[in-house]
Structure formats: C-alpha cells, structure tokens
A = this chain, B = another copy of it.
Amino acid sequence: MTESRAPRPGIVGAGQLARMMVQAAIPLGLTPAVLATAPDESAALVAARSLIGPPTSLDALRSLAAVSDVVTFDHELVDAALLRRLEAEGHILRPSAAVMAVGQDKWFQRRELEQLGLPAPAFRPVPDLAAVEEFAATYGWPVVLKARRGGYDGRGVWVVHSPAGAAEVLVGARAAGTFMLAEEWIAIEREIAVLVARRPAGEAVTYPVVETVQRDGICHEVLAPAPIATGLADSARAFALHIAEALGVTGILAVEMFVTRAGTLVVNELAVRPHNSGHYSIEGCVTSQFENHLRAVLDWPLGASGLTAPAVVTANVLGAPQTGDLMSRLPDALALPGVHVHLYGKAARPGRKLGHVTVLGAVIAEARARAGRAAALLAGTGGAEGSEEAA
C-alpha cells in the first residue's frame, strides 16, 4: 500500500474563481488550500482546506505558502512586493510575482503591449485634470479613465465626456488613493476575449475566441465562438499567445480585445488568472479553463481547448434589487432543459456576480435565449412564465 503524494496547490483568494478551481481539482486528485478573508467566502464554503487571513498580509500569505507546493491566485488584489518576498523565501508562485505585478497594474500592461508592438489604445498616466485635458486635446473626448490598480466604488473604468466629468472621477480617485490612467476612446463593433493556458516550460493551449457582451461595464453574456471572421479570430488567438509567451505567464492568461468599427483588433486588458469570459469552458470545451489552470501551474500536460458544441453561451447571474433568495428560484431554472447552473454561494446584492448559467446548442441565438432566460429567473428579473424569446 502506497500513499499517493499529490501536489498541493494553494490559492490566494476565495471568490468564485477559486471555487471553480476547487471543483476542477477534485477529479485530478487534488485538494487546494484557499486563503479567504472570511469563512463564508465563495470558495471557502466548498474547500476542504481553508485558511482565514487577508491577502495583503505577509503572514497570511506565508501561512498559505507553507502548506502549498505551488501558490496561485483568484484575484490580483495582492502586493507584488510581498509576492517577490515569498519567491525570495523559496516559494513557487504561478504566475510569478513579476507577472502578477503586470496583471494588477493597467499601466504596466499598456507598456508591455506597447513594447510588443500590439495594437492598443493610446494611454497616459493622469495625475491631475490638466493631464486629462492635455490628453483629450490630442485624442479627443470622450476619454476613458481607468484605475491603474483595483478601482474604487467597485468600479475601475469610467468614460468621461468633458473636463467636468473627468474632474468628478479624479476627486473620487484621489480620495481613494487610486492612481489613474487616461486611454483613447475607441469606437467598437464588439468586445472579444481569448484565453491561453501556458506551462512553465512553454507548452501553451489557446481557447476559442468568444464575444463578451457588456452592459454598464459588466459582462452579461459570453458567446462562443465569437461571430467574427476566421482571419480575425486567428489573429486574436495569435496576439493572446504572443502576450502569454512574452510575459512568461504560467496558468491562464485572459486577453480582452476590441473589434473596432473599422474591423481591426485592439488589445484592451489582461488578466493573469481564470476569467469570467471563460466560464463557458466548463461544459463548452473539452478541458475547462479551471482544469487547465491547475494543470498549467502544476506543470502537467494541458488538455484540449476545442468546443464541445457548435454554440455555447454563458449568461452571468447578476444580483438585482429584487433578487433575494436565489436558492428558492433554482428549481425554476433547473426546469429549463439543458441549462447548466453554477451558483457561487454568495449573498445577493445588486450588481454582484452570484453565478452563471451555460447552455450548449446548435446555434448561438437559441442557446443565448435560454441562458438569458435561466439567468433572469435566478436573478428574479424574469418571470417564470413567458416565451424564451422575451428573455
């Protein structure tokens, strides 16, 4: 009798991304430890091993690293200096502290993309209103203002149309101690995203290009595959792979891009972790982003990323004022045929991502209608009666 010695992944953060990593870990024989700020966080509710502590504390990070063979991340809200310290102490971080520093800072991201010569909006750090006005004098209004890291009031991106609008955002940012970046506003046709999973040794797998449908800056739907020309999709995948290699990402890299009205690609943002745009992959791809993230950070062979159906649509379940008890409406959503429901165990609050639903189908329109209907039922924003088309 031989005790099987499984590698021990540790996850900084315990949101829904960590929760879905914990789920994907089970068939691989793994039991990740999660570092949660509270025991009722999404992943802490389902993980067999949870540590409680803030991700901004060196002690808490060390506690996680001490019980982990490799440390990975649910979010970017960590201090890169602390991560470098963990690395100096001999702990293995995937992605590395250097990659996390880029992932958490939109200015660093822009400079990396600039160095790679990839198409991206013009950008400039804006310490004050004069800097915004100077930027607008060159690139015109509206201007996109972005928090370099994190954000405030739960937001990180504002589109402002005048000096007065910019001033208001800058006041809020200053109060929150948030540095800001101005970016050129681009007229877009649609938003797309590409995931890459990459191992330390370099093996990489690129996922299909998806369209992300945003409302009020929040992703509502993900359509796979994105309804764009093959040549454009191939370019998007090539860009994402190039970025993953240039940065030396290990694990999942998500690249958000715009398709401009002129029909060209512009790289928008990066995330060096599993991403909301990839939840469709749980049922919709041969290997989910969560499984491939774990395989990548453990330096195991990656799984195939092909679609399992001609059309896959994910709709996010976003809290609404009337959401209340999600669980009481779960049976209504499950009664819709072919709907895969994922709940995150989170209390309902307006705008909060509480879960998602994925539907596979022959064509996008049909899957989208059903996924939207199920998400609305769960959020309490859609009636139990009525046609799918009305959703």
Contacts and interface: CB of A to CB of B under 8 A. Distances in A.
A301 B334 contact: yes
Nearest to A357: B27
Contacts of A248: none
Given A1-B347, A2-B348, A327-B4, A45 B31 contact: yes
B29 A355 contact: yes
A7 interface: yes
B348 A1 contact: yes
A6 B327 contact: yes
Contacts of A6: 327, 345
Contacts of A341: 27-28
B23 A26 contact: yes
A139 interface: no
A28 B2 CA distance: 35
A99 B284 CA distance: 37
Interface in A1-18: 1-7
Contacts of A5: 325, 327-328
Contacts of A48: 44-48, 50
A331 B301 contact: yes
A29 B347 contact: no
A118 B26 CA distance: 39
Nearest to A323: B2
A147 B247 CA distance: 62
